[in-house]
Structure 1
Amino acid sequence: MSLAVDNDPFKDPSLRGSSAPPQPPHESPHVPDTLAVGRNASLTLGTDSLIVLDEGLLQSKGANCCGINLAGKNKTTRSIPFASILWAEHSEDGHVTIQYAHTVSKTVVRPAIISYQLDKVDSALTAAWIEKLLARAYGASQRQKRVKVLVNPFGGQGAALKSYHKHIAPILAAARCELDVEHTQYSGHGVDIAKNLDMEAFDVVACCSGDGIPHEVWNGLGQREDAARALFKLAISQLPCGSGNAMSLNFNGTASPSLAALAVVKGLRTPLDLVSVTQGDTRMLSFLSQAVGIVAEADLATEHLRWMGNARFTWGVLSRLIGQTIYPADIAVQVVHDSKAAIRAAYQAETSNSSPSHDDRPIPATGTALPALKYGTINDPLPPSWTLIPHDKLGNFYAGNLAYMSPDNNFFPAALPSDGCIDLVRIRGDIKRHTAVQTMLAISENKFFDLPHVDYQKVSAYRIIPKGQKDGYISIDGEKVPFAPFQVEVHRGLGTVLSRSGHLFEAEGV
């Protein structure tokens, strides 16, 4: 199953569902759309692209002119989508330079340049035109983001560092982002870095890694005395360089490092629900998922099959479904939407908005820590409104905060970034074998939600107590934790990420 994103990776996501682009803020009507850059050349701000008119393009016999691919073409005009414009500037002597992300293939973009010398230098007019271009190119997105880059040199089977330098750094540099790069040295280093990070010095923490480093960063920020303020101010993003890149798939719409870098450059600040997980005397933050049963075991017990790529997870789940493996547990939940009809209605109400709602979260005061737990911890008595229900034939218990868990696995199609809920799936372990196969096929075909044997709810909190097993697997954001009871509580909009849309995942919904 392919990601539900526009075929044009540079199309402004704010155009979805709208016939015209939004008007850039504070755009002066006195600045012309066209800038003459030579006797026979001009640059024009079109509806959604920069139009380059240059009669000299006809005479070019090379494969490339001014960074624009001309092979096999015989035209005097070329267009560059605004969403791919990275930066523009001019010099005092009238030299105009525009940098943009040039498409090399479906999964790779690289910085390219067009450059012209003005015949008549008018610095004020040129500066105003460039500002108008950048306003169209960035819209509501912050320009020149200050980025703390964390590179996991062990990620992606050791290829993360190479991927950063080859595919990511050039895009960020061309967009004039301010970069502070640090390599993680050991497990948990991301926690230590985030705990001590100067949150006033950066806008974004970009993790060149799999999903493990973002998990560490969330928890490092959560351990600070000013946790709530840090989680609000710092947007966490993933530049996919690991074996698990769910965060990038959901917010950037891609597992391509260079396309993800472009998405971060143009990304919009977006609130994200985070959840507290309490187990024993420990409280941790989760941004991705919690799993007990088939999904947890299929992930953590197949580490030796990493050579299979994403197929190892599919094989792990399918083999256990067919084997009718069960994982008995007692489960209690605080339900928000119990029926699939109610869940679909809530999801469609949010997706009907063509543009993101204004982020009206109040800025937490200095020194504000994590929010108090409304329902207590796993060590407290069960809240009176909850009912503990035995699940003696449980096959899978999977709670997701995002939609995609892998490129072909839209396990939570009704998930929303900031609805105050976590999506919960339960499946009996004694379903028939052909039903198990049907279940796996339905995930890749985005028909999983409607299967009658799939129990899908939106909840704000839950408790799960495994029973009948001395040992097993529990996964929190893909990380193994002790096999013991745990409790989860959702904190609406506690975290901040960058996304293409500003309010939705890049996934096909219900």
Structure 2
Amino acid sequence: MTDPVRLADMENGAKTMAASEAIGMRLGLGGNKTLTIGEKDLVLFDGKGKHTIPLYNVLWAELSGDSLVVDYAAPRKSSLKLQKWTFALPTPETETGGPTPQSFVLALIAAAYGGAKPRKRAYVLINPNSGPGGAVGKWKKHVKPIFEAARMELDVVNLSRGGEATELSEKADIEKYDTIMALSGDGTPYEIFNGLGRRPDAAKALAKIAVSHIPCGSGNAFSLNCNGTNDAGLSALAVVKGVVMPLDLVSITQGDRRILSFLSQSLGIIAESDLGTENLRWMGNTRFEVGLATRVFKKKSYPFDLSVKLEIEGKEMIKQHYKKYASDSTLLNVDVEAAANGEEGLPKLKYGTVQDELPGDWETAPYDNIGTFYVGNMAYMSPDANFFTAAVPTDGLMDLVMIPADISPVAVTKALLAVESGKFFDNPHVTYKKISAYRITPRNQESGYISIDGERIPFEPFQAEIHRGLGRVLSKRGVYEAEGPAGWEKA
């Protein structure tokens, strides 16, 4: 094993080399054996043939004694398997020129990580009770070995109660870590964001610490959007190679309370199918499907009054907006100071709270026959459930979806099934708008379910307003791992 001083030197050396400089570098290993850094692969020629490892799967490389060692995560049909390539270094007498082994190692690390930070420092919060359970086992078997092979620095806590992740994030040393990571469902990331949001230096903390996620729950929307997978091992690799991505966050005010939402807000069938099936948590994601099936056929409506700050209306205009961001990734860049509006704590609320008078330029209307009210600022809400197909990480807008209750159960079912086929957006029964703020006031119900990022809040009026790029997450490519609706072409 390389000693800590050399390890740090290698990491710093890799940072100073651009990945593009490493492409094409070849190391002779004696005889006719060579290692070459390609554009996408590490290539071994050994005289018998060509062998490759995707650079994305290379976790680390180092000189150990008289050997060069490459740690990598070998792709498998299901998840990954850790493996090594070990090569005896040529003696001075047999060297044939070219780069030194040390410079080759630095180049390989630079090429393997690209814009990602090697050896991330992670504060790992494991929720052993998420979803059907099993987070501790996934950590030991699928996640920790990959992180250790990538030489990450890990501080690990096994959570013992709800709210603990909020408290730990509120008190975390933001100079000590690159990411606060949740092994959980979506509830623990929700707690992490809100813990950071409680800090006196909330704006700085949210901009400095990237939240990351290893899926161990029922929905795992965070991982699906940012890692592109619902698998713990593949997500671990995505975090190792993850880049920091700005993320819009939403302030929710209810009564005298203010919380942050990173994912979604819902009322109606979706909220009840989630929160009303807690007793079926052992079923994993299937509980949502059971909840939907038992509620759709009741044709139950959820009346409310809704006021919105409308930004984009009309599905064709929304398509054009999405295409613009999909074709120009520079639009996703957000100035940190602008996102925080110069505040130390959370940004001031542009539209006040749910207790203030409604702004004059908001549109207000009563809705008596809505079955699904759903607002999101990510795309996937669960596996195969890309509800918000026009969602953009940092466009400063929320996506609002509504489905009426006074249509046939078959029509509602077709609309919801269209989520999996990518045809949900174009379904004629689906209302889709881009908004920047809203207030919703439930009517004619004494009790019910309101879900914020999968967490239940009181069945009372609440107001939401978005803050562009206020948060940071680790993501696989710096964009959502979701495609636009079927048939959309990027501009």
Shared fold per TM-score greater than 0.5: yes
* 1:508 paired residue number: 483
Secondary structure of the structure 2 residue equivalent to 1:155: coil
Q: Quick check: 404-413 or 297-306, which moved more?
A: 297-306
Secondary structure of the structure 1 residue equivalent to 2:132: helix
The Cα shift of 1:321 comes to: 2.5
Determine if contact 2:20/2:111 at 8 Å carries over to the other structure.
no
* 2:344 paired residue number: 368
* 2:409 paired residue number: 433
Deviations 1:250-286 (A, max 9, x none): 0000011110000001111100000000011110001
Q: 2:49 aligns with which of 58, 76, 90?
A: 76
Secondary structure of the structure 2 residue equivalent to 1:128: helix
* 1:157 paired residue number: 132
Determine if contact 2:325/2:332 at 8 Å carries over to the other structure.
no
Secondary structure of the structure 2 residue equivalent to 1:148: strand
The Cα shift of 1:485 comes to: 0.4
* 1:456 paired residue number: 432
* 1:198 paired residue number: 173
Q: 1:396 aligns with which of 372, 378, 381?
A: 372
The Cα shift of 1:186 comes to: 0.8
User: Counterpart amino acid of 1:202?
Assistant: Y
* 1:380 paired residue number: 356
C-alpha distance in 2 between matches for 1:26 and 1:243: 37
Confirm whether residue 85 of structure 1 aligns to residue 85 of structure 2: no
Q: 1:95 aligns with which of 38, 46, 67?
A: 67
The Cα shift of 1:192 comes to: 0.4
Confirm whether residue 263 of structure 1 aligns to residue 256 of structure 2: no
- CA separation of 1:76 and 1:40: change in aligned 2, threshold 3 A: same
User: Counterpart amino acid of 1:445?
Assistant: S
Confirm whether residue 25 of structure 1 aligns to residue 18 of structure 2: yes
C-alpha distance in 1 between matches for 2:405 and 2:341: 47
The Cα shift of 1:242 comes to: 1.6
Q: 1:51 aligns with which of 35, 43, 49?
A: 43
Deviations 1:433-471 (A, max 9, x none): 221121122111110100112110011000000000001
TM-score with structure 1 length normalisation? 0.87
Secondary structure of the structure 2 residue equivalent to 1:463: strand
Q: 2:29 aligns with which of 37, 44, 58?
A: 37
Q: Which structure 2 residue ranges, 5 or more long, are not aligned? A: 1-16, 486-491
* 2:155 paired residue number: 180
- CA separation of 1:361 and 1:111: change in aligned 2, threshold 3 A: same
Which structure 2 residues correspond to residues 240-319 of structure 1 after superposition, within 5 A? 240-319=215-294
C-alpha distance in 2 between matches for 1:255 and 1:219: 24
Secondary structure of the structure 2 residue equivalent to 1:115: strand
Q: 2:446 aligns with which of 470, 486, 495?
A: 470
The Cα shift of 1:356 comes to: 8.1
Secondary structure of the structure 1 residue equivalent to 2:272: helix
* 1:168 paired residue number: 143
C-alpha distance in 1 between matches for 2:255 and 2:302: 21
C-alpha distance in 2 between matches for 1:177 and 1:257: 17
- Aligned-pair identity in percent equals 47
Secondary structure of the structure 2 residue equivalent to 1:388: strand
Q: Quick check: 120-129 or 146-155, which moved more?
A: 120-129
- CA separation of 1:266 and 1:305: change in aligned 2, threshold 3 A: same
Q: 2:306 aligns with which of 313, 325, 331?
A: 331
Confirm whether residue 113 of structure 1 aligns to residue 88 of structure 2: no
Deviations 1:397-456 (A, max 9, x none): 100111111112111111111110111101111112221121122111110100112110
Q: 1:343 aligns with which of 299, 307, 318?
A: 318
The Cα shift of 1:27 comes to: 5.4
Confirm whether residue 104 of structure 1 aligns to residue 104 of structure 2: no
- CA separation of 1:188 and 1:357: change in aligned 2, threshold 3 A: closer
User: Counterpart amino acid of 2:280?
Assistant: L
The Cα shift of 1:83 comes to: 0.6
Secondary structure of the structure 2 residue equivalent to 1:450: coil
* 2:13 paired residue number: none
Q: Which structure 1 residue ranges, 5 or more long, are not aligned? A: 1-23, 56-74
The Cα shift of 1:168 comes to: 0.3
C-alpha distance in 2 between matches for 1:84 and 1:168: 14
Secondary structure of the structure 2 residue equivalent to 1:141: coil
Q: 2:104 aligns with which of 123, 129, 141?
A: 129
Query: How many residues in Structure 1 have an aligned counterpart in Structure 2?
Result: 464
- CA separation of 1:286 and 1:235: change in aligned 2, threshold 3 A: same
C-alpha distance in 1 between matches for 2:333 and 2:196: 24
TM-score with structure 2 length normalisation? 0.90
Secondary structure of the structure 1 residue equivalent to 2:73: strand
C-alpha distance in 1 between matches for 2:456 and 2:337: 34
Determine if contact 2:403/2:429 at 8 Å carries over to the other structure.
yes
C-alpha distance in 1 between matches for 2:418 and 2:401: 14
The Cα shift of 1:86 comes to: 0.5
The Cα shift of 1:308 comes to: 3.6
User: Counterpart amino acid of 2:80?
Assistant: V
Secondary structure of the structure 2 residue equivalent to 1:475: strand
C-alpha distance in 2 between matches for 1:385 and 1:454: 25
Q: Quick check: 192-201 or 120-129, which moved more?
A: 120-129
User: Counterpart amino acid of 1:476?
Assistant: I
User: Counterpart amino acid of 1:348?
Assistant: K
C-alpha distance in 2 between matches for 1:26 and 1:53: 22
C-alpha distance in 2 between matches for 1:90 and 1:48: 22
Determine if contact 1:225/1:367 at 8 Å carries over to the other structure.
no
Determine if contact 1:38/1:116 at 8 Å carries over to the other structure.
no
C-alpha distance in 1 between matches for 2:248 and 2:179: 17
C-alpha distance in 1 between matches for 2:330 and 2:349: 32
Determine if contact 1:396/1:426 at 8 Å carries over to the other structure.
yes
C-alpha distance in 2 between matches for 1:34 and 1:418: 40
- CA separation of 1:249 and 1:467: change in aligned 2, threshold 3 A: same
